[in-house]
Every structure is written in structure tokens, then in C-alpha cells.
Structure 1
Amino acid sequence: MKENQAICSSCSNENCFIKKHIHLPNMQSYIEKKHSFSCKKTQQFIIEGAPIQGLYFVQKGKVKTVKTGINGREQIVRFTTNGDTVGFRGFGTSNRYLIGAYALEDTVLCNFNNEVMMDILKNIPEFTYDMMLFYAEELNKSENNIRKIAHMNVRERVIDTLLYIHRKFGQTNDLINLDLSRKEIADFAGTTEEQVTRVISSLKREELIKTVGKKIGLHQINKMQSEIMEHKYI
């Protein structure tokens, strides 16, 4: 990892917790204590089980967070991009990270260590209130994901995953702006690489999607949404 000078005042990520609260009294003194660095594609910057080193905020790039499941298999639990927060699982309640995190492309991260984050939470109520709402929303998403795995069949879970990454990262030239292997799609959808490959082949035959190498483009978003509409998770 390489040191990087990410400047909060000129950051364009209006959804970032730090940027949203930069105007508050005393916030600047905490911002001056942050540490910024860059990661190369595939580089791991959080190791599951390692001592917590505060929270990370994605200044620019894409990240996947993972958790080890049965037989040591990594399950992707979240994708993050510009302005998103990483490493919040277990923060404040555990001494060690409950997840691991990898850069999906060259990524710039801002880190606020444990001491700084605790001081912010204790001394800036508006920040703490927004963080509480963020945790509540993430809990709701986690509960929905559990229900999806229980109620959706494999095809529906793959469709749901493709719609999610389309919403999250957008599409350029009819292709989603994220390079994911079939295994990574499977690790997020809670299935196997072979099943993902079969579903993607079926969706291509039905002309709902197209593929160019690893990249996938969604052609018939409305039809894909209607297929999982009964689950009401779109």
C-alpha cells in the first residue's frame, strides 16, 4: 500500500460520512488525523480476524468485503465504491475485524483509526446519529439477504445479484462497470461457479444479457426485475 494525499475539502463524494459532516465544528481537527493510501487491484487491506484499525472510506475505486464460511470458502457480503464505508462490521463491539476486504481495482482509501473514530462518535452528535441510521439500514439489508438465500432459487439469486451490481456501479457501453469473475458472482449470490455459468448462458440465450469476456451487460432490466418482483427486494 502506498501513501496518498486525499483531500476531504475537494472530495466529490457527497455521500461519504466524513464529507457530509465536514462543515461541523471540530470536524476539521479530526480530518487532519486521517491516513490516506492507495491499493492496487486484488490487494487485501483488511484481514479477517486482524485487530481493528478503525474505519475506511473509499475515496476512489471499488472494494469487495468477504467473510469466511463453511470449509474455508469466502462469501462476498458487500461491494463498495466511491464514498462508501468499509470495516464497520464489529467496530466498537469487537477487537478484531469480522470481515476481510480487497480492492477490485486500483483504489484510494481514507482511514480514521480507532481512537479518532471514537472521539468523533463521542463528541459530534450529528455524525453519531447518522452512523446509527447507517447501521440500522445495513442490518435491514443483511436480514433481506438472508431471506433471499432462503426463498430465491439459483436463477433468481443470480438475477438479483446482476441487478444489484448494475444499480451499484452503473453501465457504460451496455456493460456493467465492474469486472467480476463467475466465481465472485457465485460467492455473492450464495451458489456455485458452475450454476452461475449455466444461468448466465440461459440469460444470454433469452437475450436478457450480453457478455464480453468477464463483463456483463443487462439488456432487459424490466423483464429481469419482474422475474424476482414477487420477493419484493428490488
Structure 2
Amino acid sequence: MNASIDCKSCHNEQCLIKKNCLTEEAIPYLEQKLMVKAKKNQPFILEGAPVHGLYFIYKGKVKVAKTGINGKEQIVRLCQDGEIIGHRGFGVGQFYHISAVAIEDIMLCNFSNEVINNMLQKVPQLSYNMMLFYAEELNRSENKVRKIAQMTVREKVIDAILYMNRKFGQTNNLLNIQLSRKEIADFAGTTDEQVIRVISSLKKEGILIAQGKRLGIVKLDKLKNEIKEHNFFLDS
């Protein structure tokens, strides 16, 4: 569908485009933006597919995944309004190295490879902040590798739940994101069975509650305390 949302009126104040491209030299490129809709569970980036620019989430939640050993999916990011999708393949190759699937009905802003390349050359502030974004992403990836190597299964699951809480928050004592036990396992780097056992244990301890697939944190401080030595707050 054609562009229909003006970047100037966008509600995503932390979006790199909104923050850096509301200048006169950027306007011609903003006018070439496309709006893309995706339904819940619909993929809009396929791993191995040709790169067709960068996506910025206008509204909704997305899981970004990569295929691991024996075809097992590893969820590498959970994203929401204002975040970039597809940057890992941009500028370094012809194909995406990740897949992206809508967790709920979403709307995306898409800038083609040509448009983004031109913007980066013409808008220095965007280029600088994009560089900082990539540096922060690298830091988070390195922290995650370290934590996965050092954490027990229980700690991995707790870390994943705390991450969801920091990123999406809670409403009425339930997390504002609904993931299946398999998706939590794919994000935590463990198995469905282990996730089910850990969640069951945390519920019995009165730390978590569950309503269908949705989880809620009752005793946040206790959950944080279990992984405090791993500096959970580094991966926001």
C-alpha cells in the first residue's frame, strides 16, 4: 500500500527516522516510504530472501528469528513500535540473515535499499545515529552470548521473562505480550519442556501467575534477585 502516515505526525518519538529525518533534505526520501500491513503470525521477512530495504514498526509487536542447528528456530529479538527490522542484512549482503513474523496485527514503514542509502549519504545525523544503533546492537549480542553460556536453564527462562517485562510492561498484572511456551523457549535458548517446568515452579512459588498463554509477574524483586549476578539490566 502507498505511504499514508506522515513521519512528522508519527507517535514513535524514538524512531531513528522520526528523530533524524524531519529536515528539508530528507523530505523527498520520506515521500518514497511505503506502508506495509501484516496479520498476526504472518512473516514479512524470510530468512535467505533478497534484501528489500529496512522496516520500521509503526504499530505492533514482532519476533525476529534465525535458523539454528537442525533447523531449530532461535528468536533473537522481540520488537515493538519505532524499532528497526532487517538491519542485520542491510549493506552487508544480498539476502536477509533473519526472519521476521508479526506477533499481532502490525503496520510497518518500509524504505527501499536505494532510498535508505541515499538518506544515509544526504542526512549526516541519520548516519551518525545509525552507527550508534549498530554499536549498541553489537554490545547486546555479545552480552546475550555471554549470558547464555553462563546461565542455568531456570536463569535463562527468568531472564527472558524479565526482558519481556522491561520491554513491554504489564497491564492488570499480565505482561503486554503473549508468547507460546515454545516461543519463550526459542528466545531463552532452551526447550519447551524446560520452560513449562520452570514456569510451573515459579507459579508454585507465588512469583508468577498465568492466564492462558499470558504470564504475569507477582514478585518482581524476587525474580530479579535470582539473576542479579548476571546483570540482567544490561540487555534492555
Name the residue aligned to 1:144. 143
Q: Aligned partners of 2:199, 2:83: CA distance in 1, in Å?
A: 29
Q: Which amino acid letter does the alignment assign opposite residue 43 of structure 2?
A: Q
Name the residue aligned to 1:164. 163
Q: CA deviation at 1:6?
A: 2.6
The answer (yes or no) to whether the contact 1:4–1:38 under 8 Å persists in 2 is: no
Q: Which amino acid letter does the alignment assign opposite residue 91 of structure 1?
A: F
- Render the CA deviation track for 1:144-191: whole Å, top value 9, x for unaligned: 110111000000010000000111111101000111000000000000
Q: CA deviation at 1:90?
A: 2.0
Q: Aligned partners of 1:5, 1:198: CA distance in 2, in Å?
A: 46
Q: CA deviation at 1:4?
A: 6.4
Counterparts of residues 82-161 of structure 1 (less than 5 Å):
82-161=81-160
The answer (yes or no) to whether the contact 2:63–2:102 under 8 Å persists in 1 is: yes
TM normalised by structure 1 equals 0.97
Q: CA deviation at 1:3?
A: 5.7
Q: Which amino acid letter does the alignment assign opposite residue 63 of structure 1?
A: V
Q: Which amino acid letter does the alignment assign opposite residue 230 of structure 1?
A: E
**3-state SS of paired residue (1:216):** strand
Q: Which amino acid letter does the alignment assign opposite residue 37 of structure 2?
A: S
Higher alpha-carbon deviation: 18-27 or 81-90: 18-27
Higher alpha-carbon deviation: 65-74 or 15-24: 15-24
Name the residue aligned to 1:185. 184
TM normalised by structure 2 equals 0.96
Structure 2 unaligned blocks of 5 or more: none
- Render the CA deviation track for 1:90-131: whole Å, top value 9, x for unaligned: 210111001000000000000000000100111111100000
Q: Which amino acid letter does the alignment assign opposite residue 155 of structure 2?
A: E
The answer (yes or no) to whether the contact 1:46–1:99 under 8 Å persists in 2 is: yes
The answer (yes or no) to whether the contact 1:6–1:59 under 8 Å persists in 2 is: no
**RMSD across aligned positions (CA):** 1.0
Identity rate of aligned residues, in percent? 56
Q: CA deviation at 1:35?
A: 0.6
Q: CA deviation at 1:207?
A: 0.6
Q: Which amino acid letter does the alignment assign opposite residue 142 of structure 2?
A: E
- Structure 1 stretches of at least 4 aligned residues deviating more than 2 Å after TM superposition: 2-7, 22-25
Q: Aligned partners of 1:222, 1:27: CA distance in 2, in Å?
A: 45
Cα distance change of structure 1 residues 3 and 158 upon mapping to structure 2, 3 Å threshold: farther
Q: Aligned partners of 2:231, 2:160: CA distance in 1, in Å?
A: 14
- Render the CA deviation track for 1:32-86: whole Å, top value 9, x for unaligned: 0011021100000000000100100000000000000001111000010000000
Cα distance change of structure 1 residues 106 and 31 upon mapping to structure 2, 3 Å threshold: same
Name the residue aligned to 2:70. 71
How many residue pairs match? The answer is 233
Name the residue aligned to 1:221. 220
Does 1:55 find its partner at 2:65? Answer: no
